[in-house]
Structure 1
Amino acid sequence: MGEVAEGDPAVLVRVVSDQRTVHDIPHTVACRALGVSPAWFYKWRRRPAEPTKREVRRALLEERILYFFRESGDTYG
C-alpha cells in the first residue's frame, strides 16, 4: 500500500472523491491506484465522524482488561 493509504482513512476518502469531482477519474480507478478496494472506499465514505457503539464498547472493555492486568502485576489478562 502506498503512503497515502497508510494515513488517515478520512483523508484517503477525500482524495478518492476529489479525483472524481476534479479530474473525472472513476472511484474504482482511483482506489486501484491508491491500493484500496472500492468496497473499502464506499464503507468509509458512509462512516459517521463519531465512533460506533461497537468501537465505544470495545474501548471500554480494553480499559477494563488493562486495569485488571496492571492490578495483577501484569500476570493476568
Structure 2
Amino acid sequence: MELADKTVGFLLSLTSLSIFTYYTFWVVILPFVDSDHFVHNYFLPQEYAILIPVFAGVVLLCLLGIFVGTVMLKSKKKKA
C-alpha cells in the first residue's frame, strides 16, 4: 500500500507541476511572444487565463458550502 501512495503522490505532484508550468508560461511569457508565432497555437486566448481559475474557484467554494451544509444538517439530526 505504501508504494501505491507514493505513486499517487508522485503523479499528483507531476500533474500540479505541469499545470503550474503551462499556466505560468501562458500568462507571463506568452504576451511577449509575437502573435504570429506557432507557439500561440498551443494556448487558449488570454481571456481564459482569468476565466478558468475564477470559474474553478467558484465551483470549489460552492462544493465546500454544500459539504459544510450537509455536515451541519447531519450533526443536527444526530443531536435531536
Q: Please state which band the TM-score falls in when normalised by the shorter chain.
A: 0.3 to 0.5
More helix by share: 2
Greater Rg by CA: 2
